[in-house]
Each structure stands twice: as C-alpha cells, then as structure tokens.
Amino acid sequence: MEIFIDSANIKEIEKWLAMGVVDGVTTNPTIMFKDCVYDIEVGAKRIAALLDPLPLSVEVVTNNLDEMLSQAELFSSWAPNIVVKIPQITQDGIPCCGVINALENRKIKVNATATLSLGQVILAAKAGATYISIFFGRVADEGGNATEVIINSVKWIERWGYKSKIIVGSIRSVGDILSSAMTGAHALTIPPQLLSKMVDHKYTRETVKQFVNDAQKAKRMMDKAITETTIK
C-alpha cells in the first residue's frame, strides 16, 4: 500500500518525503488555495521537481469537457510525473469518462476524482483511469459505507484485471486511515497533520521518556562506581 500526502505545503512534503514514508502527492484547487499556492503552474512544477519520479496529482479547474482536455495537456507538459485529476462528472452531472479515456489514450495518466460509488469506479476503470480516488469522508457524509465501497471496488478491479489503482482520499481522522488501510486499497492520501497524529501516542512518549531516564540513571551509577574504584 502506498501513502500519498494530501497537501501543497512544500515544507510538509519535504519533511515527510525525507522520512521515506511518502510515495506521492495529491492536490486539488482547495488544497492549493489553503496552502497559499495561487499560481498552479509554479506550485505544481516545484512540487513535481521535489518528488520526481514519484507522482503528483493536479486537478483541472473547469466544468467544460473540451477545456479539461486542453488543461490536462498543459498540466502534463509541466513535468513527466504529473497525473491529471479529472472529476467523475461535471457540476451539471455530465460524465467525464470520455475525457479520461481520451487522455489515457494520449499517454496522460489520469486520477479519476470525486468518486463516491462502485458504479463510478467501474466506469472510470473501463475508461482507463490510472488512479481512482474514492472520497472516504464524503461517502460517509451521504450515509454510505465507505469501507464497503472501497473493498468492493478493489475486488471488482482485481476480479476483472483492470489497471486502475484505488486511492482513498477525504480522510479526516486516524480512524479513517486505519479503516481504509485494511480495505486492500492501493493507496491512501493523508493530510500532513493526520500523519503526525498517526505516528504519535501518549504512552509511546512516556515509554521513551522512561527508557532515557533509566539509561541516564544507569550511566550515573556506572560513573560513580568507576570514580570510587579509581579513588581506592
């Protein structure tokens, strides 16, 4: 299972990348705005260079299918490791499967995003999407069983041999991370603040503190014994 960081914050990406636990980065217009990345091209090129050859997902910013194609062509020209995020449907409910298929046929990798159902997964996989992002939190918001959607999606893809990889996004808690990690999903994309919470534990801190204190006590006793022996 791969772990992507769901962020456009360069410092956070650098920090977690250096730890060897990050396999890529996902962004969207909201994340870029929140992280003060107002120029998509500048931000994407900087992150892509930092990650190379690991993937960076960058999302189109239009509701028009033809513009999605042209934006995807542009975005993918910025760096070879850029994956273009295409929504499952437009805000008017128009399917984007044709866009996904056209881009993949042009050797542009697509991350089919804003996925909330197995039906959407099936169509995106058949259209050829390299990645399909299932939004865990938003499925739950609508009263759905996100874990079930992910498990069934992975099973269906593996049963029929499609290339698509399932990414779990819209993760809002460590509980979401752990639940998603047991579904067989190919990747989780996690906000940096949740990566910090994931590794932290109150009793791990206390245990490490005890070990360090006891080691220091042992050293003091050893130093004392050496001093007394020298005096004698």
CA angle 223, 226, 227 (to 5 degrees): 85
Maximal CA-CA distance, the chain: 90
Which residues lie closer than 8 Å to 231 by C-beta, 6 or more apart? none
Q: Which long-range contacts (CB under 8 A, 24 or more apart) does 174-182 make?
A: 174/198, 176/136, 176/137, 179/136, 179/146, 179/147, 180/136, 180/146, 180/147, 180/150, 181/1
Q: Which amino acid is at 232?
A: K
Mutual angle of helices 146-160 and 118-127, in 10-degree steps: 30
Tell me the C-alpha distance between 154 and 165, whole Å. Answer: 8
Q: Is 224 a catalytic residue?
A: no
Q: Which amino acid is at 158?
A: E
Tokens of 49: 């260079």
Q: Which of 11, 45, 85, 219 is catalytic?
A: 85
Instruction: Examine residue 53 and say whether the peptide bond preceding it is cis (omega within 30 degrees of 0).
Output: yes
Tokens of 93: 């409910």
Q: Give the residue numbers marked as catalytic.
A: 85
